[in-house]
């Protein structure tokens, strides 16, 4: 029997596997735009556990399963017994008897690891406090489309060293994208993420200067300063991130850069409305690629 593969972190797949998934994502995108049927997961079901809200992740996974000829079941925490205290390990073993794969958005990263440990079907991380690897798949697909490949691409992360930043840093290391991460002191990506990136052959530069990161970047990426679950830290975070906004002034040093954001964007905080709406913004291309990249991931995991 083959071992069940899970996708909890972007480095759960090898470099070759990552490229295979991205190629498949491009093919699904082409097929969908051409109106060609691609029902590769006919009759299969994805269970989707959500402990936090979502627009893109929920809709792209559900729509993706439909387009692949399968079905998705939305399992909000309070709609299932998890919300009344049923342990994750029991939820995982029960769902494994019904569905072909589980996608989960949870708070603590350990919780998705518990789900995977007890699940006999693939578990996909739909965001934890520490990682957002499905977002990174779509981001890498987007960068490859924009730049024609990963070679000589310079990326800048500006803002919070959060879940999206951490998976992106590892994704850049996997694809040899040169990354500079600018965060305020105290909001850096975790040391172990930098170590994992280095183990993969990457060498992310870290700085507290957003202008240094943005200078000559091909891609500038930011995300919210207050992630889901950090609402109580709002005042202190707003102060800490002063000067880290991706705005027109910052873009003066990178006039040709594409601006990325995983969305939802908080205009007036980490990014301005003018930048989101500008020609440099590729945020909706990224959002679209969530659909194609996740279809590729699911069909790859389930074949």
Q: Buried b / exposed e across 172-191, counting CB within 10 Å, b at 16+?
A: bbbbebbbbbbbbeebbbee
**What does the DSSP 8-state code read for residue 49?**
E
Q: Does 295 sit near ligand CP (CB under 6 A)?
A: no
Identity of the residue, 121 or 226, whose beta carbon is nearer to ligand NVA in the bound complex: 226
Residues 53-92 binding ligand CP (CB under 6 A) are: 54-57
135 binds ligand CP (CB under 6 A): yes
Residue 162 site contact among ligand NVA, ligand CP, none (CB < 5 to 8 Å, cut-off depends on kind): ligand NVA
The pair of three-digit structure tokens given for residue 73, joined into one six-digit string? 């079941």
| Residue 153 CB-half CA count within 13 A | 25
Q: Which does 183 bind (CB under 5 to 8 A by kind): ligand CP, ligand NVA, none?
A: none
Compute how many residues bind ligand NVA; rule: CB under 6 A: 9
Residue 290 annotated as lining a ligand binding site: yes
In terms of Cα–Cα distance, which of 226, 189, 232, 233 is closest to 207? 189
Confirm if 241 and 184 have CB atoms less than 8 A apart: yes
Q: How far is the CB of 42 from ligand NVA (least distance, A)?
A: 30
Nearest 5 degrees, angle CA 256-CA 160-CA 214? 20
Binding ligand NVA (rule: CB under 6 A), the pick from 164, 189, 220, 254 is 164
Q: Which stretch binds ligand NVA (CB under 6 A): 32-40, 82-90, 162-170, 235-243?
A: 162-170
Catalytic positions: 105, 132, 135, 223, 262, 290
Residues from 121 through 140 that contact ligand NVA (CB under 6 A): 127
- Residue pointed to by tokens 């994805």: 46
Give, as ranges, the residues between 191 and 250 that touch ligand CP (CB under 6 A): none
Q: Which stretch binds ligand NVA (CB under 6 A): 80-88, 157-165, 170-178, 269-277?
A: 157-165
CA distances (Å), origin 137, targets 3, 37, 177, 178 = 22, 23, 14, 17
Q: Is 136 annotated as a binding residue?
A: no
Residue 159 near residue 214 (C-beta atoms within 8 A): no
Q: Is 136 in the site for ligand CP (CB under 6 A)?
A: no
> Is 238 annotated as a binding-site member?
no
Taking the C-alpha atoms of residue 255 and residue 214, their distance in angstroms, rounded to an integer, is: 10
Residues 111-130 vs ligand CP: string with x where CB under 6 A?
----------------x---
For residues 57 and 39, what is the distance between their CA atoms, to the nearest angstrom? Answer: 20
Of 296, 303, 279, 234, nearest to 25 by C-alpha is: 296
The answer to the question of residue 260 lying near ligand NVA (CB under 6 A) is no
The residue count of the chain comes to 303
Binding mask 207-246 for ligand NVA (x = CB under 6 A): ----------------xx--xx------------------
263 is in an annotated binding site: yes
Q: Are 240 and 184 in contact (CB under 8 A)?
A: yes
Nearest C-alpha neighbor of 239 from the set 267, 269, 208? 269
Q: Which stretch binds ligand NVA (CB under 6 A): 144-152, 159-167, 191-199, 243-251?
A: 159-167
Binding site for ligand NVA (CB under 6 A): 127, 162-164, 223-224, 227-228, 262
Binding site for ligand CP (CB under 6 A): 54-57, 127, 135, 262-264
């Amino acid at each position: 029997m083959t071992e069940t593969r899970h996708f909890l972190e972007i480095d759960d797949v090898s470099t070759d596997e990552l490229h295979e998934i991205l190629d498949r994502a491009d093919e699904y995108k082409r097929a969908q735009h051409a109106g060609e049927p691609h029902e590769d997961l006919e009759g299969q079901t994805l269970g989707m556990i959500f402990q936090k809200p979502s627009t893109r992740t929920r809709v792209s996974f559900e729509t993706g399963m439909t387009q692949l000829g399968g079905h998705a079941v939305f399992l909000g925490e309070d709609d299932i017994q998890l919300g009344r205290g049923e342990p994750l390990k029991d939820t995982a073993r029960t769902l494994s008897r019904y569905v072909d794969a589980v996608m989960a958005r949870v708070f603590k990263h350990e919780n998705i690891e518990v789900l995977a440990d007890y699940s006999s079907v693939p578990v996909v991380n739909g965001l934890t406090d520490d990682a957002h690897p499905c977002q990174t798949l779509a981001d890498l697909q987007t960068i490859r489309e924009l730049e024609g490949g990963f070679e000589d691409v310079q990326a800048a992360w500006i803002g919070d060293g959060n879940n999206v930043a951490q998976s992106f840093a590892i994704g850049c290391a996997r694809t040899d994208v040169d990354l500079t991460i600018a965060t305020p002191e105290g909001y850096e990506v975790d040391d172990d993420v930098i170590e994992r990136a280095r183990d993969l052959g990457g060498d992310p530069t870290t700085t507290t200067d957003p202008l240094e990161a943005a200078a000559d970047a091909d891609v500038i990426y930011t995300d919210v300063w207050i992630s889901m679950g950090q609402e109580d830290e709002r005042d202190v975070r707003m102060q800490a991130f002063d000067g880290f906004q991706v705005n027109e002034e910052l873009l003066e040093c990178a006039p040709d850069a594409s601006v990325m954001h995983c969305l939802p964007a908080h205009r007036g905080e980490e990014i301005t409305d003018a930048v989101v709406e500008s020609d440099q913004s590729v945020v909706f291309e990224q959002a679209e690629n969530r659909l194609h990249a996740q279809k590729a991931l699911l069909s790859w995991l389930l074949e």
